[in-house]
Amino acid sequence: MRLFKIIPLILLLTPFMINFVSSAEISEEQKAMLETLPPDQRASIRTKIETANELEDNLEEVFESEQNLIERPDYEVLKNLKGAESEECMNCIFGYEFFKYAPTTFAPINNVPVDSDYILGPGDKLLVNLYGTTNKKVESFISREGNFFLPSLGPISLIGLNFGDASKLIKERVRNEIIGTNASITLREVRSINVYMLGEVYQPGKFTMSGLSSVSNALIVSGGVNKTGSLRNISIKRNNKTIASYDFYQFLLKGSLENDIKLLDGDVVFVPFIENTTRIGGAFKRPGNYEVLTNETVLDAIEFAGGFEQDVSKDAKIELSYYDQENGTRIYKSLSKDELDFKLSGQASINVSSKSGYKVETIKLSGEFVNPGEYAIRPGDTVLDIINRAGGYNEDSYSEGGIFLRRSVAKMQKDAFLRSADDLEDTIVDIVTKGTLNNLSEFTLTPISRLISRLRSEQPVGRMVLNLDYLALKNNPVIDFRVQDGDELYIPERPNSISVVGEVLYSSTLGFDPNLEVNDYIDLSGGLKESADSERIFVILPNGRSSLVKKSLFSSKNILIPGSTIVVARDPRPFDAINLTQIITPILADLATSAAAIAAISD
């Protein structure tokens, strides 16, 4: 199991770790095969090959790399996003995810604006421009004694002064003592300071950072707090005295930097254990787990969650659950919106239910309806209810060719295509790494590479095969299904044509002739391409159902009706060399069916 946890992480490695897996471990033959693939697939497959080679050659080295990953500040969160441990992140306190991509090192930043209240100290470099009767530039560091040396004036003591006051002092000295001369002052370099991060931080210790750093910067450089640390009761100590308390929620929820004080050299940032938490669930704008301080109330916690959703009724009851320390039992209360001043403690939970029917849900009807358009979905609405509200079908309608689309079905179809693309990509990796085939050329993998690209780019429409005949829906409640938000129903005009798509010379739409059969329509479309699979020709009926053409000795006995689509699938024989025919054949059929559905809607 440990190996399966490592493999997904290796695919997300930093550039350092990518260099750690040497490209020299890929053979020349493998490199040549990779060059035949498109750039996007080449990079993905190359990564998988490198990973496979590294695991095969030296498993212990991979285990060591896992230990290196643990040292990353964002490793815990990344780990929780993978596999079975993802459920653990449901218990994370709101705010922890802010440190997901925290850096492991912190380079001092000098090219940022400096506030006038920045306290100068030894190590800061000032640039003084003298102009007027005297034109000169003086650039120097503030000494350990806190002095800045300016020729003609000597040392100027700046100890304890902020940048604004120091600038005024230097300008006044220059103006008073060097006649006809003024000065402008710039802070060229900011000194580095040492700050101690202690308590429940991800990486405790002493950190060197820019003198412009604040408490939030220090939290980021140390990787943030760990799962037992408080985000709202962080102490800042200076000269063994607590000078401030930092609440990260003030920044995270309100955008306030009021208590994000600037740090000085030798400051200690101490993160204590978290004390009280409240889980907020239900119809809130931002449900989750929140840290609450002593004396904070239910109303405060609800404000953390962004307040109620709009579908919460005015007389809704708020369910409160908390642990009573005195009695040693969990208490359950039902509060009205006027009773939200209840103080929270320990581990509590707050829940509220929403009011059904608030969310707007619609379905779009187009084509041959008496009144086509977009209609609101009422509770319990079925497709027949919607059709009736649209006035029913008009006299030109052809319900046999109705097309019903659903977003969830489109998503499932797309997911299936992506899974197939991943499986085919893994097959390429096996072929190249294991050398299962001899005499591989640059053309061997080209067909499968193109198929992978097609699977990734295809956007299914989510067509459901249904019986949309009005009388059938009216007489058979079983097939009169409920509609969902985002559904679309298109009813075409009664057609008089047959479409031929796929591996034919000219994809075309031909007039319907009851005397013509499948092969006749294919001949009228220029005949089959060399890439066609003559054994896998199928017909898609107007209602979306499909059937394989069965050939007899004399003719193909498939009944075509107006609006049918003849689909000629691609010959899977180019994939015979890599033993993928059985896998590729249904994929090609699915792609052809998807293309036919899109074409039907476009028409």
The CATH number of whichever domain residue 183 belongs to comes to: 3.30.1950
Higher pLDDT among residues 110 and 422, named by residue = 422
**pLDDT for residue 587 is more than 70:** no
- Which of 133, 156, 189 represents a domain boundary (last residue)? 189
Q: What is the pLDDT of residue 454?
A: 80
Is there a domain that residue 504 lies in?
yes
Instruction: Return the top range by mean pLDDT from 97-101, 220-224, 380-384.
Output: 380-384
Q: What is the pLDDT of residue 470?
A: 92
Average pLDDT over residues 390-412: 91
Claim to verify: residue 208 and residue 301 sit in the same structural domain: no
Claim to verify: residue 574 and residue 550 sit in the same structural domain: yes
Q: What is the pLDDT of residue 250?
A: 92
**pLDDT for residue 482 is more than 80:** yes
Average pLDDT over residues 479-487: 92
Q: What is the pLDDT of residue 33?
A: 67
**Range in 36-45, 46-55, 317-326, 479-488 the model is least confident about:** 46-55
DSSP 74: T
Q: Is 455 left (phi over 0), alpha (psi -120 to 50) or beta?
A: alpha
Q: What is the pLDDT of residue 289?
A: 93
Average pLDDT over residues 187-201: 91
**pLDDT for residue 404 is more than 90:** yes
**Range in 200-204, 400-404, 423-427, 587-591 the model is least confident about:** 587-591
Higher pLDDT among residues 48 and 163, named by residue = 163
Average pLDDT over residues 186-196: 90
**pLDDT for residue 118 is more than 70:** yes
Q: What is the pLDDT of residue 273?
A: 94
Is there a domain that residue 281 lies in?
yes
Is there a domain that residue 215 lies in?
yes
**Range in 374-383, 435-444, 457-466 the model is least confident about:** 435-444
> Across all residues in the chain, what is the average pLDDT?
79
Assign 383 a pLDDT band (cuts: 50, 70, 90): very high
One-letter amino acid at 549 equals: V
Q: What is the pLDDT of residue 49?
A: 66
Q: What are the residues facing 93 on neighbouring strands?
A: 289
Average pLDDT over residues 192-215: 90
Query: Domain containing 536: what range?
Result: 495-603
pLDDT in tens, 234-249: 999 999 999 999 999 9
Claim to verify: residue 42 and residue 141 sit in the same structural domain: no
Claim to verify: residue 291 and residue 235 sit in the same structural domain: no
Claim to verify: residue 151 and residue 228 sit in the same structural domain: no
Higher pLDDT among residues 585 and 92, named by residue = 92
Assign 514 a pLDDT band (cuts: 50, 70, 90): confident
Average pLDDT over residues 117-128: 89
Claim to verify: residue 211 and residue 252 sit in the same structural domain: yes
Give start and end residues of each alpha helix (H) in 372-469. 383-389, 407-434, 446-457
**Segment 135-143 long-range contacts (CB within 8 Å, at least 24 positions apart):** 139/188, 141/189
The answer to whether the predicted template modeling score (pTM) of the entire model surpasses 0.75 is no
* Percentage of the chain modeled with pLDDT above 90: 28
Average pLDDT over residues 38-64: 58
Q: What is the pLDDT of residue 20?
A: 36
pLDDT in tens, 54-78: 555 544 443 343 333 334 344 444 4
Average pLDDT over residues 40-67: 55
CATH of the domain at 325: 3.10.560.10
Q: What is the pLDDT of residue 22?
A: 39
Is there a domain that residue 403 lies in?
no
Provide the domain count of the chain.
5
Q: What is the pLDDT of residue 65?
A: 39
- Whether residue 285 contacts residue 302, with contact meaning beta carbons closer than 8 Å, is answered with no
**Range in 5-14, 41-50, 273-282, 575-584 the model is least confident about:** 5-14
- Which of 189, 207, 235 represents a domain boundary (last residue)? 189
| Degrees, nearest 5: CA angle 477-478-481 | 85
Claim to verify: residue 523 and residue 574 sit in the same structural domain: yes
Higher pLDDT among residues 88 and 97, named by residue = 97
Claim to verify: residue 567 and residue 585 sit in the same structural domain: yes
Claim to verify: residue 590 and residue 510 sit in the same structural domain: yes
Assign 257 a pLDDT band (cuts: 50, 70, 90): confident
Is there a domain that residue 179 lies in?
yes
Assign 369 a pLDDT band (cuts: 50, 70, 90): very high
Is there a domain that residue 427 lies in?
no
- Whether residue 174 contacts residue 218, with contact meaning beta carbons closer than 8 Å, is answered with no
Q: What is the pLDDT of residue 7?
A: 33
Claim to verify: residue 587 and residue 510 sit in the same structural domain: yes
Is there a domain that residue 473 lies in?
no
Q: What is the pLDDT of residue 112?
A: 60
Q: What is the pLDDT of residue 107?
A: 53
**pLDDT for residue 131 is more than 80:** yes
Q: Which of 351, 324, 347 is nearest to 335 (CA)?
A: 351
Is there a domain that residue 317 lies in?
yes
Q: What is the pLDDT of residue 169?
A: 93
Residue-by-residue DSSP string for 192-258: EEEEEEEESBSS-EEEEEETT-BHHHHHHHTT-B-TTB-SS-EEEEETTEEEEEE-HHHHHHH---T
Average pLDDT over residues 86-111: 63
Average pLDDT over residues 308-316: 84
One-letter amino acid at 15 equals: P
Claim to verify: residue 264 and residue 286 sit in the same structural domain: no
Q: What are the residues facing 548 on neighbouring strands?
A: 538
**pLDDT for residue 461 is more than 70:** yes
Claim to verify: residue 24 and residue 61 sit in the same structural domain: yes
Retrieve residue 560's tokens. Answer: 């075509």
